[in-house]
Amino acid sequence: MLDIHMFRDNQAKIRADHDKRGISHDKIDEVLKYDKMWLNLQHDTNQLRQKKNIAARGISEAKKSGDEAKAQAILAEVASLGAEISRLEAETQAAKEQRDTIRMSIPNILHPDVPEGDDESGNTVHSVYGEKPEFDFEPRTHNELIEMNKWVDLKRAAKIVGSRFFFLKGDLARLELALQNYAVDFIGNRGYTFVQPPVMMNRQAYEGVTDLGDFETVMYGIEPDKYYMIATSEHPLTAMYMGETIPEDQLPLRIVGVSPCFRREVGSHGQSDLGIWRVHQFTKIEQIVIAKPDDSWSIHEELLKNCVDLWNELGLHYEVVNICTGDMGTVAAKKYDLEAWLPGAGQYKEIVSCSNCTDYQANRLQIKYGQPGHANQPIVHTLNSTAVATSRALVAIIEQNQLADGRVKIPEVLVPLMGGQTILEPCQWG
């Protein structure tokens, strides 16, 4: 969330950002209203505390002078002031909670380079890589390929769980593991430490890293423990330092994480989202960086370069797009997406998101840097980027590398991780 001092001292910047996004200023006004209420209540409470302390000093003096009636009167006044203070404290806390709940829903300040647009149609092409594959046959969709090769069992997964879950089988399952190992090694060789996070988080930590609306549309809650299944390893890895001050000489912290991811993905989707493209459980290799503010924009470009280099090694055709104002969401200040060409679907579709969240998540999580134990240390910046979401990577590979007989050529960099095998063969049982 945005620092409260920005609302007090630079609200014009927030209003200008809202204008760029095309959203109302109502929530800004609500934050300012409740912040003023909170400050006034704090002042009134402190005045009463002073009055109570002064009154309390008179009790012993009255008792020393033997004036019991006066002592009892002061005691009654102190008790009355105490009750009033308790009431004001409750009102003060309520005003703060109301202010901060609204503040958490106000989006991050966009980078000046973010293009304006109402929705994804306003995204602009940043760069294009690889050659669009050409076929001397009609290319199949990934749904057709996984069905004819018996690599995925959706029906049996639906039987035991529900829709949008799957069993992954045979060579495609082996390729998924190869992708994980390849991506971890690739990013790890660039100075990123491999971390496997927990796959559940409590609400307090989760509210620090995601849009509050995600709890209703994306997250799986676990009762009665009040935990949430993670939607990406970005979330626990970013929250790992919640409430801490990181020594400055440890920054930037570069992490590559691997985890299963769980998403409800509420809503209807198109035909191309079927199969293993849009599912409720998948594996993702994620890049996370916690950095000083002065370094975050150069690191954002570093994360993008890591993705580009990795996907170039896979030999696939894709484009990088700048995400526009209407497609940005709440948390990121600037975001790139990598979109792979799917010849079966005849369209580009997102495979990677690369975001600089500046201090938005860190303000919520209170992650600082400098001298641990010292007050008023500065807030860090947090950045994240998918390296590989394996199910979507598999879709891009099998559609772009498909052969006329339905088998699939394995990317050269993954051949050693497949025991020298160069072609994905059909599974022998359905």
Domains and CATH numbers, the chain: 4-103 (1.10.287.40), 120-424 (3.30.930.10)
How far is Cα 165 from Cα 279, in angstroms, rounded to an integer? Answer: 6
Question: Most distant CA pair in the chain: distance in Å?
Answer: 108
Please state which of the ranges 29-38, 75-84, 134-143 shows the lowest mean pLDDT: 75-84
> pLDDT by residue (tens digit) across 22-66?
999 999 999 999 999 999 999 999 999 888 888 777 776 766 676
What are the tens digits of pLDDT across the range 113-128? 999 999 999 999 999 9
pLDDT at 150 over 60: yes
Contacts of 28 (CB under 8 A, 6+ apart): 7, 11, 14, 15, 18, 106
Q: Check pLDDT > 70 for residue 2.
A: yes
pLDDT in tens, 332-356: 999 999 999 999 999 999 999 999 9
pLDDT at 430: 85
- Cβ atoms of residues 348 and 372 within 8 Å: no
Work out the mean pLDDT of the chain and round it to a whole number: 93
Mean pLDDT of 133-149: 96
Q: Are 365 and 239 in contact (CB under 8 A)?
A: yes
Chain-centroid distance of CA 125 in Å reads 23
On the question of pLDDT at 68 being above 90, the answer is no
Tell me which H or E stretch contains 15.
helix 11-21
Q: Which residue has the higher pLDDT, 83 or 198?
A: 198
CA angle, residues 9, 14, 15, in degrees to nearest 5? 110
Residue that wins the pLDDT comparison between 425 and 81 = 425
Q: What is the DSSP string of 127-146?
A: EEESPPP--SS-PPPHHHHH
178-188: average pLDDT: 98
Percent of all residues in the chain with a pLDDT value above 70, rounded to a whole number: 96
pLDDT of residue 266: 63
Q: What angle do CA 105, 109, 112 make, to 5 degrees?
A: 150
pLDDT of residue 271: 53
- What pLDDT is attached to residue 272? 54
| Rounded Cα distance, 242 and 208, in Å | 8
Instruction: Give CA–CA dist 168/152, Å, rounded.
Output: 5
Torsion from C-alpha of 257, 258, 259, 260, nearest 10 degrees? 140
| 268 has a pLDDT exceeding 60 | no
The reported pLDDT for the residue numbered 71 is 72
Distance CA 422, CA 185 (A): 20
Given the DSSP bridges, would you call strands 245-247 and 253-262 parallel, antiparallel or unpaired? unpaired
| pLDDT tens figures, 226-254 | 999 999 999 999 999 999 999 999 999 99
Q: Which helix (H) or strand (E) holds 360?
A: helix 360-365
End-to-end CA distance of the chain: 49
At 290, the pLDDT band (50, 70, 90 cuts) reads: very high
Across the range 135-146, mean pLDDT stands at 96
Please answer whether residues 184 and 258 qualify as being in contact, where contact means their C-beta atoms are separated by less than 8 angstroms: yes
pLDDT, average across residues 76-86? 86
* Distance between CA atoms of residues 254 and 240, nearest Å: 13
In this prediction, residue 80 carries a pLDDT of 86
Segment 368-380 shows an average pLDDT of 93
| pLDDT number for residue 270 | 56
pLDDT at 79: 84
Counts of helices then strands in the chain (DSSP H, E): 13, 17
Q: Does 165 score more than 80 pLDDT?
A: yes
Q: What is the mean pLDDT of residues 303-326?
A: 98
pLDDT digit string (tens) for 271-281? 556 789 999 99
C-alpha span between 37 and 238 (Å, rounded): 32
CB 100 within 8 A of CB 34: no
